[in-house]
Structure 1
Amino acid sequence: MLIPMKAFRRTIAAYIAFALAPLLVAGAAGAEPLVDLTKQTQLQPGFEKNQEVHSLLPEAIRKAGEINVALAVGIAPVNFPGEKPGEVRGLTADLVTGLEQVLGIKFKTTIFPNTASQLLALESGQVDLTVSTNGDTLERQKSFTFVDYILSTNSIVVAKGNPLGIAKALDVCGKVYGEVKGSFSVYGTFEKVCKGAGLPTPTLSSFDDAPSMMLSLASGRVNAYAGSTFNTIYQQSQGVPVEDVPLPEAGELLLGMTVARNDQPIADAVNAALQVLVKNGYYKQALEHWGLGAYAIQPGVNLAAK
C-alpha cells in the first residue's frame, strides 16, 4: 500500500514542531555548525546515453524507453521528501538522475513507505527496480538481486543527552526498542546479547515508517532504535535532539538498489551504469554532496555474498 504523501509530510511536520530547534545548529562547544542538508541543492549532471550500457536492458524496457521504479523517503540524507508531492530529495535522487542519463531511459517513479512494500511490489511486477535503502542479505538474495552502492554502519539512536545512559547493546535490555516494519532487523542481536547476559530482551515496538518511530523516540514512547550514523548526522543537522551509540555487535550492512531474482539483466544494466558514474567521478561527488563520502564503496552486485 502506498503512503499518502500529504500524510507523510504531516508526520514530518509534526515531528519538526515537536522536536526541532533551529535549522542550523551548533555541535559541541567550539564545534563548527552543522549544515542543514535540506538546503542542499540537487546535482544537475548532463551525461550522454551510453549505448553499450543501454543495450544490456531487456528489449521491452528499451522499446518503452522507461522503467517502473520504487523510491522511498524515510532515510535522510539518502532520501527524504521534497517540497512537492511525490518529490524525493537526497542522494538517491541524484543517483536516479545520473542513471537515467547513462541508461538512456526514463525512471517512472512511485514512492513506497518501507522495504517490505517495495519488495512486495518487485515480486508482483508492479515495479522493476528499487532505488532505495534495502539491506543486502544472504536470505534476501534467495528472492532478489542487489546492486549495492553504499555502506551503512549500525548504531543505537537515543534521545539527546542520552537520559537512560545507554552506552552499549546490553543497556537496551529490558527497554522499549523501535523498528520499522520490513526493514533490516537487528532485534535478534539484542535478543542474543541480552539472553547471554541473563537480562530481559527489549520490548519491540514496530512502526510503519521512520518518521513515526523518530517521533516516538522524541516523546519517550520508545527508548532507542537501531539506525545508521549518516542518518543521525542528518537529523542533528535539522536540530533533532538525538545522539547515537556504536552497535558493533550488529556489524555493517550494504544497501542496494534491488530487482527481482529473475530480472538479472536489469541488475547488470544498472550496475554497469553505476560503474560509469564511478569512473566519471559523479558517484563520489554525489555522496560527498550529501555528507556521505565516508560510506562510499566500490559498487557491485550481491556483495553480501562476497
Structure 2
Amino acid sequence: MKIRVVLPAVAAVAALALTGCVNNSDSEGAGGGTKTPATSDIKADSAAVALLPKDIKDSGKLIIGTDASYPPNEYKDANGNPTGWNVTLADAIAAKLGLKPEWQVSKFDSIIPNINGGKFNMGSSSFTDTLERQKSVDFIDYYQAGTLWAAPKGKTVNPEDACGLKVSVQSGTVQDTDEMPARQKACKDAGKPEIQVLKFDGQEEATNAVVVGKADALSADSPVTLAAIKATGDSLQASGESFDNAPYGFVTAKDSELTKAVQAAVESLMKDGTYTKILTDAGVEAGAVKEAVINGGKS
C-alpha cells in the first residue's frame, strides 16, 4: 500500500521502507465501487446511456484503470481504495451512464495496454492527451494542467538551466517521456552535462527523493506539484511558474462507442454544475474547461 501523503525527511524514508510503496504487479486489484457523497445523488443521463456499447451497458459496470499514486488527483485512502478529485469525477461519469464504477489499480504505463486488451473500459489517471497517445486510444478532455517544478525550500532551481542536476519524475508521465528527453538533448547539444533523471513508480517516491536530498528538483503536473508542496510543509517550494499547459483526458479504446458516451456524460456533468463543484471542492478549479473535446491534444 502506498503512503497517502508525502512525509518529511527521515520519517518518509522509514515509511517507504516499511510499506513497499512500488506497484510491482500489473494490476493490484479492484477498489470499491461505492458512490462517494459527491456522486450519490447523480441521476443517469438517458442520452449518454443510449450511446453505451451494449456489452458495457448490459454488464452494469464501468471498469476503470488508475495508478493511484498521484495526489491530489488520484491516490489511495487509508483502506487502500482509490480516492481524489479525479476518482470522484470518474465516479460521477459512471453514475451519469447508469453504471457502477469498478476500480482497478495498475501501473501507469500498463493502463493503455489494458484498455486496448479489453481488460479496462476506461482509464482515469491524469493522462495528458498527446498526439502520440492518440494513435492508440481516444481521449475525452476534461481539464487543463501544466508542468511545475519544485525544489527544496530556499534553493533556486531554473528548469531552463537545469543541466547537470538530478530531477525526479514519475515513470510514464509526460515529464518522463517528453519533457526530460527534450531537456537532456538541449543540454547535450549545448555541450553541458545532461540532466540526471530519477524515475519512480509513484509520485510520492519522486517527491520524497527531493525531500531527503537525493534529487535537486521534481517535475510533475501543476496540481500534483502544488499538493506535494503543501503536504511537505516548509520542505519544498515551486521553481518558477507552470508551463506547457495541456489537457487531461479520460482514456477509452480507439474509435469506440464508449468514447462518445463518456463525452456525453462529462458534458452532462458540466451542464448540471457537478463538474464545477467537484473541482472547486478539491481546490483545482483553475484548470476547468468549458467543453469535453475528443482528442484535443495538439502536441
Shorter-chain TM-score category?
0.7 to 0.9
Aligned length: 272
Q: How does 1:1-306 map to 2 (within 5 A)?
A: 6=1, 8-9=2-3, 17-18=11-12, 43-85=38-80, 87-114=81-108, 116-162=109-155, 165-170=156-161, 172-184=162-174, 185=177, 186-195=179-188, 197-240=190-233, 241-246=235-240, 251-262=244-255, 264-298=256-290, 299-305=292-298
Q: State the Cα distance separating 1:196 from its structure 2 match.
A: 5.0
Q: Output the TM-score relative to the length of structure 1.
A: 0.81
Gaps of 5+ in 1: 1-5, 20-40
In structure 2, how many angstroms separate the alpha carbons of the residues matched to 1:53 and 1:142? 25
Over aligned residues, Cα RMSD in angstroms?
2.4
Report Cα offsets for 1:173-204 as digits up to 9, x if no partner.
Answer: 01112222211131133124424543221012
Q: Does the CA contact (< 8 Å) of 1:42 and 1:90 recur in 2?
A: no
Q: Deviations over 1:37-83 (max 9, x none)?
A: xxxx9624412211111010100111111122112322222112112
2:101 partner SS = strand
Q: 1: CA distance between counterparts of 2:39 and 2:143?
A: 21
Q: Distance in 2 between matches of 1:138 and 1:246?
A: 27
Alignment-mate amino acid for residue 274 of structure 1: V
Write the letter of the residue equivalent to 2:296: L
Segments ≥4 residues shifted beyond 6 Å: 13-16
Deviation track 1:102-160 (CA, whole Å, cap 9, x = no partner) reads: 1001121111232x121121122211111221111001100010111111111222122
Distance 1:15 1:135, change over 3 A: farther
1:3 counterpart residue number: none
- Contact 2:6 2:231 (8 Å CA) reproduced: no
Aligned counterparts of 1:71 and 1:130: Cα–Cα separation in 2: 6
| 1:295 to partner: Cα distance | 0.8
| Contact kept in structure 1, 2:7 and 2:231, CA below 8 Å | no
For 2:86 and 2:276, how far apart are their aligned partners in 1?
A: 13
User: Identity rate of aligned residues, in percent?
Assistant: 22
After superposition, the Cα gap between the structure-2 partners of 1:296 and 1:16, relative to the gap in structure 1 and judged at 3 Å, is farther
Give 1:16 shift.
8.7
Change (3 A) 1:243 1:42: farther
Cα distance in structure 2, aligned partners of 1:18 and 1:211: 9
